[in-house]
Amino acid sequence: MAAAGFVASFAVGFAVGDRITDRRAATKPSGSARVSPGVSAAAPGSNDSAANPAEVELRDEIVRVPRTPAVAREIGPPLAAPKADAPANAPSGPVEHIGEQVRAIQAVRATNANAFSPAFASDGTAIFFHTGRERDGRSAIEVATAGNQTGGDLGIMTIVDDGSHNYHAQPSPDGRFVAFDSDRDGERGIYVANRDGSQVRRVSGAGYAAVPTWSRNNEWLAYIRAEADKPSVWNLWLQPAAGGRARRVTNYRFGQTWAASWFPDDRRIAYSHEDTLMVMDLQTGEVTRYRTPVKGQLVRTPAVSPDGTKIIFQVFRHGAWLLDLADGSMQRMLTDPTAEEFAWAPDGRRVAFHSRRDGQWGIYVLSRR
């Protein structure tokens, strides 16, 4: 779902160099962005500070800024300005460009239902996703499966559909479980179920929580939580996947942090906040920051490649971009302004995402050469 974006307007607060401590933002942004399908910016919980009863680690970030600033370059024609009468979530400018190989998941399209938030199974032969939008009465977790994900028709199987809103399905790397967020208990939280949708259990505590991601060793879940006193402010938390005490990772007092994507070493994560993409070392707290390639535009839904060398992410209304961590360069991979929530196939050659490029929200796959 396209959203009403806002321009981040805070002072940088640090100089270029190695191991520099970041300071609190000087000013607060003027507005708040709505979010992708299935996530509401308003948490339904109370303002009681006990709503997030988890261990909190407060520490300054150690920030590493690349000595050579990220260089943004576009592949193909530039994105055209949207027409004045165009809807906010309509594609603006060319959706296809030279070199793109994008195809729809036909079996998902055949269901004639809006589909969001794809995630590949660890063997690449299935794609998990959810149906339904925030305004719909219900949404289900479904799986498109096939013996060979690269060709042929897929079969659709529903694994969670209990009449509640169930979003952001994430299969565990070992293939045994699926994590997702749901409002089945009245307040959005993180749940884990068996691969077939059975034995659903809540693993996050009280308070609004959403968009889980697994560490690659199956041991940890990262997710965003709304602040009890500021429900439109989101921060990142970590928790043992089997349940247990959660740990705060970020401590922003404004804006929304987008859920983490894990590196293969399970020591680093990528996430975004406002107009910046972050790579954090969870052991040291060291953060490398990469500013948006489109000045003033939000960076969202980053996904780390299976080999840990690249990150694909959305620049709000400006398509999908690829960050090469070797040199900090960025290039635009998709001009489709509605493409978001990316998931790499295990082979690193395909990226699934949801988009409204054909007029209805659906799941697509970008094949990389």
One pLDDT digit (tens) per residue for the chain, 369 residues: 333 332 222 222 222 222 222 322 222 333 333 333 343 333 323 333 333 333 333 333 344 444 344 444 444 333 333 333 333 333 333 333 434 689 888 778 777 789 999 999 999 989 999 998 777 778 999 999 864 444 445 588 899 988 899 999 999 999 999 999 999 989 999 999 999 999 999 999 889 999 999 999 999 999 999 999 999 999 999 999 988 899 999 999 999 998 899 999 999 999 999 999 999 999 999 999 999 999 999 999 999 999 999 999 999 999 999 999 999 999 999 999 999 999 999 999 999 999 999 888 999 999 876
Strands 286-291 and 62-64, sheet pairing = parallel
Please state, in angstroms and rounded to a whole number, the distance separating the CA atoms of residues 236 and 61. 14
- Residue-level pLDDT at 352: 95
Task: Map residue 367 onto helix, strand or coil.
Answer: strand
Write phi, then psi, for 240 (nearest 5 degrees): -55, 135
Which secondary-structure segment (H or E) carries 192?
Answer: strand 189-194
- Average confidence score pLDDT of the chain: 76
Q: Residues 99-146: pLDDT tens digits?
A: 468 988 877 877 778 999 999 999 998 999 999 877 777 899 999 986
Q: How far is CA 165 from the centre of its chain?
A: 18
Chain centre distance of CA 178: 16
Within 10 A of 131 (CB to CB), how many other CB atoms are there?
Answer: 25
pLDDT in tens, 205-249: 889 999 999 999 999 999 999 999 999 999 999 999 988 899 999
**Residue 20: predicted pLDDT:** 24
pTM of the model: 0.75
Give pLDDT, residue 107.
73
Provide the pLDDT for residue 138. 82
Q: Is 299 left (phi over 0), alpha (psi -120 to 50) or beta?
A: beta
DSSP-derived 3-state class of residue 248: strand
pLDDT of the residue at 26: 28
3-state secondary structure of 256: strand
